[in-house]
Amino acid sequence: MHRALIAFWLATVVCPATAQDVRPPTGWRFPGESDYRSSWAEFRKDIPRPFKVQADFNGDGLPDQAWILIRDNPKAWGVFVFVSQRDGGYKLHEVLRVDGDNEPQDFGISLAQPGRYKTACGKGYWECKKDEPETLVLRGPAINYFKYESASSVIYWTGQRFRTVAISD
C-alpha cells in the first residue's frame, strides 16, 4: 500500500512533465483538443487525459511517460512509452500499434497500481498460454490499457521490455 501511494504521488506531483518534454516519432503526433470526440468526449469528466499517463514504469527512479499517439497519414494510432534516461533524454518504446480505421478515441490509458491482478486466462476466459500468467504481480506502477466499457490489459516493464497481459476480454 505504501509503495502504491508513493507511485501515485510520483505520477501526479513530482512528474509534472508535458508533451513539450518529449517528441513523438516522425509522422506521429500528440492528441489535441480537436481529438476529444467519441468516448474521449463522453468520459472526459471521469478521465480528463485518456491518452497520457506518467510514472516510473521501469523502477529506476525517473519519471516515464506513456502516450496514445496518432498518425494521420497513413491513418494509425499506438501506445508509446518514453522511458527517461539519466542523461536527460529518453528511450522510445512502441508498445502497440493499430493501423487503419479503428479510432483511438475508443481506447484509453491510465495508471495501474502495484498489486496482484487476476488475468483474463486466470479468470477462465481462455486457456493460459505457456508464458501467460494466471495472476500478474506488479511491483511498481504500470499502464492500464483499455477499450471503454469493454476489455482491458496491463502493460508493464519486465526488466528488458514492455509486455502486455489481458486482464479482461
The per-residue pLDDT for 102 is 82
Rounded Cα distance between 157 and 168, Å, is 19
Q: Using CB atoms within 10 Å of the CB of residue 126, give its burial: 0 to 12 exposed, 13 to 18 middle, 19+ buried.
A: exposed
The per-residue pLDDT for 77 is 97
Answer yes or no: is pLDDT of 101 > 80: no
Q: Which region holds residue 34: left if phi is over 0, alpha if psi is between -120 and 50, else beta?
A: alpha
More confident residue, 1 or 150: 150
Q: Is the pTM of this model over 0.75?
A: yes
Q: How confident is the model at residue 21 (pLDDT cuts 50, 70, 90)?
A: confident
Answer yes or no: is pLDDT of 16 > 90: no
Rounded Cα distance between 133 and 119, Å, is 7
The domain limits of the chain are 2-168
In this structure, the number of other CB atoms found within 10 A of the CB of residue 104 comes to 22
Contact 54, 81 (CB under 8 A): no
Which tens digits make up the pLDDT trace of 119-146? 999 999 999 999 999 999 999 999 999 9
Residue identified by cell 486466470 is 122
More confident residue, 3 or 31: 31
Three-state SS at 39: helix
Three-state SS at 14: helix
Beta carbons within 8 Å of 119's beta carbon, 6+ residues apart: 128, 132, 133, 134, 135, 136, 165, 166, 167
Three-state SS at 28: coil
Cell of 64: 516515464
